[in-house]
């Protein structure tokens, strides 16, 4: 099994450090130590940089991969957007030797080289393929009695499909299976595979439109009486968490669905406290959820 460098991206360390903490704690519990990736930059964002200058986008992405390769590590991402950029860059450069040469000519000026000898992995894909649902189930110490709305997000599925991972079928369930390995129940809801609303720079450019998409998903989740939203992307996490507060402020609503990254859900199932996992640091009030977790939403 290859070693792993942890690519944090921008949103988790700056807005949700609990996601980083949860990832490191859960992987340590699995016996996997994650190397810090010194000198990493923004991935850069797939919906912004690539639209303006693809070569620059590829060069910046391949530099991040090269940093991991220099440590003889595969690169682990905890963000769908980062995964989309880094995996698609890796896939393109491995397939196109001419493009790889062009990018490396630029990288050589910085003292780096994309060799293409390691892989970019998403935390969900890695856990599903390398640890397995049964492996997760075996290490869980607290069965979570929760109704969960799983949000896949836009930039998780497509890169897996293009890389030929085998996880993308007509009936996509791999994320749901990992959630249910914690004892929780993944609840189906309308428009489950729809965007969170924030992608492609839309959150900054047309916030009102993005919040309408977010609210539609929230309404569909509430109809199914879910206890929390579980995602695999800090940017989706931000949209659902801060987005609820924005919608409440603008519309006088009272959305307060707790939002968890999968590693935080897994951490709860492994016996870590909500505070250790940073669940108490959300914009949305999680006090009631945390109290319910402590009082009986888990069973040994």
Residue range 180-191: mean pLDDT, rounded:
98
pLDDT of residue 145: 94
* Residue 169, pLDDT above cutoff 80: no
Over pLDDT 70: what percentage of the chain?
Answer: 92
* Residue 47, pLDDT above cutoff 90: no
Lowest mean pLDDT across 40-49, 135-144, 166-175, 240-249: 166-175
pLDDT category at 158 given cuts 50, 70, 90 is confident
* Residue 161, pLDDT above cutoff 90: no
Find tokens 């190397």 and name the residue.
Answer: 35
- Domains assigned to the chain: 4-123 (1.20.1050.140), 134-292 (3.40.50.11810)
- Please state, in angstroms and rounded to a whole number, the distance separating the CA atoms of residues 82 and 78: 8
The dihedral region occupied by 212, where left means phi > 0, alpha psi between -120 and 50, and beta the remainder, is: alpha
pLDDT category at 300 given cuts 50, 70, 90 is very low
Residue range 244-252: mean pLDDT, rounded:
95
**198 vs 191, higher pLDDT:** 191
- Non-local (6+) Cβ contacts of 297 within 8 A are 144, 145, 146, 227
- Please state, in angstroms and rounded to a whole number, the distance separating the CA atoms of residues 167 and 44: 25
Residue range 106-114: mean pLDDT, rounded:
97
* Residue 1, pLDDT above cutoff 90: no
Please tell me the pTM assigned to this model. Answer: 0.94
Residue range 33-53: mean pLDDT, rounded:
86
Lowest mean pLDDT across 106-115, 166-175, 252-261: 166-175
Residue range 90-116: mean pLDDT, rounded:
97
Residue range 111-130: mean pLDDT, rounded:
97
- pLDDT tens digits, 194-225: 999 986 665 555 667 889 999 999 999 999 99
Lowest mean pLDDT across 8-12, 16-20, 164-168: 164-168
- pLDDT tens digits, 129-152: 999 999 999 999 999 999 999 999
On the 0-12 / 13-18 / 19+ scale of CB atoms within 10 A, 134 is exposed
pLDDT of residue 111: 97
- Please state, in angstroms and rounded to a whole number, the distance separating the CA atoms of residues 221 and 191: 9
pLDDT of residue 243: 95
165: its two tokens: 């991972």
pLDDT of residue 167: 78
- Please state, in angstroms and rounded to a whole number, the distance separating the CA atoms of residues 45 and 86: 10
pLDDT of residue 12: 97
231: its two tokens: 């995602």
Question: How far, CA to CA in Å, does 159 sit from each of 41, 52, 87, 96?
Answer: 20, 20, 6, 17
* Residue 46, pLDDT above cutoff 80: no
Asked if residues 36 and 106 have their Cβ atoms less than 8 Å apart, the reply is: no
Query: What does pLDDT average to over the chain?
Result: 92
């Amino acid at each position: 099994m290859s070693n792993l460098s942890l690519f944090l991206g921008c949103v988790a360390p700056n807005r949700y450090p609990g996601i980083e903490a949860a990832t490191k704690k859960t992987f340590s519990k699995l016996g996997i130590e994650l190397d810090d990736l010194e000198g990493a930059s923004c991935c850069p964002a797939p919906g912004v940089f690539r639209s303006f200058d693809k070569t620059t986008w590829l060069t910046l992405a391949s530099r991040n991969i090269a940093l991991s390769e220099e440590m003889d590590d595969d690169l682990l991402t905890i963000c769908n957007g980062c995964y989309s950029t880094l995996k698609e860059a890796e896939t393109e450069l491995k397939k196109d030797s001419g493009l790889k040469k062009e990018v490396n000519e630029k990288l050589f000026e910085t003292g780096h080289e994309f060799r293409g000898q390691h892989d970019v992995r998403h935390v969900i894909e890695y856990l599903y393929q390398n640890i397995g649902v049964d492996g997760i189930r075996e290490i869980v110490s607290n069965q979570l009695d929760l109704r969960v709305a799983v949000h896949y997000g836009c930039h998780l599925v497509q890169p897996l499909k293009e890389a030929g991972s085998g996880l993308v079928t007509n009936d996509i369930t791999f994320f749901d299976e990992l959630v249910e390995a914690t004892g929780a129940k993944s609840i189906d809801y309308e428009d489950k595979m729809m965007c969170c609303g924030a992608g492609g720079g839309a959150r900054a450019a047309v916030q009102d439109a993005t919040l309408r998409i977010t609210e539609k998903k929230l309404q569909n989740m509430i109809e199914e009486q879910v206890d929390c939203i579980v995602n695999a992307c800090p940017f989706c996490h931000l949209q659902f968490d801060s987005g609820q507060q924005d919608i409440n402020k603008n519309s006088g609503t009272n959305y307060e669905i707790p939002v968890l990254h999968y590693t935080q859900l897994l951490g709860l199932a492994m016996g870590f406290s909500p505070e250790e996992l940073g669940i108490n640091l959300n914009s949305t009030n999680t006090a009631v959820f945390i109290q319910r977790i402590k009082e009986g939403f888990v069973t040994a």
